[in-house]
Amino acid sequence: MPTRAEVNARAAALRAGFERHGAQAVEPPILQPADTLLDLYGEDIRARAYVTSDALRGEQMLRPDFTVPVVQMHMAHGADPARYTYAGEVFRRQERDPSRANEYVQVGYEVFERDDPAASDAEVFALISAALADLPVRAVTGDIGMLMAVVNGLNTSDIRKSALMRHIWRPRRFRALLEQFAGRKPVSAARQALLAGEVTSGAPLVGARRQHEIDARIEVLKADAAEPPIAAKDVDLIDALLDISAPLPDALGRLHDLSVDLPAIVPAVARVAARKEALKERGVDVGGLMFDANYGRTSMEYYDGFVFGFRAAGRADLPPLATGGRYDALTRRLGGGREIPAVGGVMRPCLMLLLEEGL
């Protein structure tokens, strides 16, 4: 197992490499305000982060990743364009899998640039790929924006679209909602009774919700029940999209074919095509680069476009050595209405050393 000194030395070398490409080194505090992450992800983030508090600062989280604080820093006083790099510990609770590290060193590279998003995507991917070039890794790419475009283009209510968008990063819940909204999932007897007004209770209210909030929620459920189901052909087209997993050129051909029946994805497909050309210009072998339309749906929830990852070949037991993607919407959320196209990636030097040592 690599020592802490070895991991820190590799992290410093990786960060220095990104600095040579024009990135400014930054080091956000280990303790981060919890309210920002809770606002972004809701209470779900508590299951993945270490939370503490004090009377002066309120709730704080041990840094679960670097991207959110780097975006906050940039939107407050960053240059335009800008590149940043960092190296340091992040902390994630691993109660479901105690074999996975709950503290590890992460090295990252982030690009904030307006001119050519495809070129920025290719820049981040190519630099990380080059840093992993001597290791037995396989890369996969995807694009969360493709599924977002499909959901936004559905012929259904805004409430249903919002629910599906909220669960894009929870594939099982997304599928359950899609089946429900398509009328393929039976409505439970309890909900039928609630919608029919047959449920009454004299029990006192317990918890934070007041009666008017409960009544409003029931009205929303009634309005949803009156909505026509999502068309079966639209569900089939979503399935066809999510089934795409092929080398990038082949996947792009299938996406072009699918866009005939799914015009909502035409702009997203054009972005994938532009990215492919930008990757080629960076020397990436796009013919052997996998594109998986499902990839990235279980990662942090700020990605809204290009996503990628590098895994150790033949080592399914290891987490990804590197991951990343585009998060334009996050800059808008944290920028008070201002935004800038942004993309980044992170690497785990400890896993790189493990592979080099054959462990």
Instruction: Tell whether 2 and 119 lie within a shared domain.
Output: yes
Number of domains in the chain: 2
Angle in degrees, CA 329, 331, 334, rounded to 5? 110
Which of 141, 166, 83 lies closest to 341 in space, CA to CA? 83
**Banded pLDDT at 265 (limits 50, 70, 90):** very high
Instruction: Tell whether 175 and 127 lie within a shared domain.
Output: no
Cβ neighbours of residue 99 closer than 8 Å, sequence gap 6 or more: none
Q: How large a percentage of the chain has pLDDT more than 70? A: 87
| Neighbour-count burial of 99, counting CB atoms closer than 10 A to its CB (0-12 exposed, 13-18 middle, 19+ buried) | exposed
Any domain includes 323: no
Instruction: Tell whether 211 and 124 lie within a shared domain.
Output: no
Any domain includes 329: no
- Mean pLDDT check: name the lowest of 20-24, 54-58, 259-263, 277-281: 54-58
pLDDT for residue 21 is more than 80: yes
Query: CA-CA distance, 144 to 265, in Å (whole number)?
Result: 11
pLDDT for residue 215 is more than 90: no
Instruction: Tell whether 126 and 9 lie within a shared domain.
Output: yes
The model carries a pTM of 0.88
pLDDT of 33: 87
Better pLDDT: 56 or 293? 293
Is 267 in contact with 149 (CB distance < 8 Å)?
A: yes
Query: CA-CA distance, 349 to 143, in Å (whole number)?
Result: 25
Instruction: Tell whether 21 and 81 lie within a shared domain.
Output: yes
Query: CA-CA distance, 90 to 7, in Å (whole number)?
Result: 14
Query: CA-CA distance, 259 to 226, in Å (whole number)?
Result: 30
**pLDDT tens per residue, range 79-110:** 889 999 999 999 988 777 777 788 999 999 99
**Banded pLDDT at 162 (limits 50, 70, 90):** very high
Chain center to CA of 274? 21
Q: What is the CATH number of the domain that holds 95?
A: 3.30.930.10
**Banded pLDDT at 37 (limits 50, 70, 90):** confident
Positive or negative: CA dihedral 129, 315, 87, 77: positive
Domain of residue 209: give its range: 158-229
**pLDDT tens per residue, range 105-142:** 999 999 999 999 999 999 999 999 999 999 999 999 99
Q: How large a percentage of the chain has pLDDT more than 90? A: 64
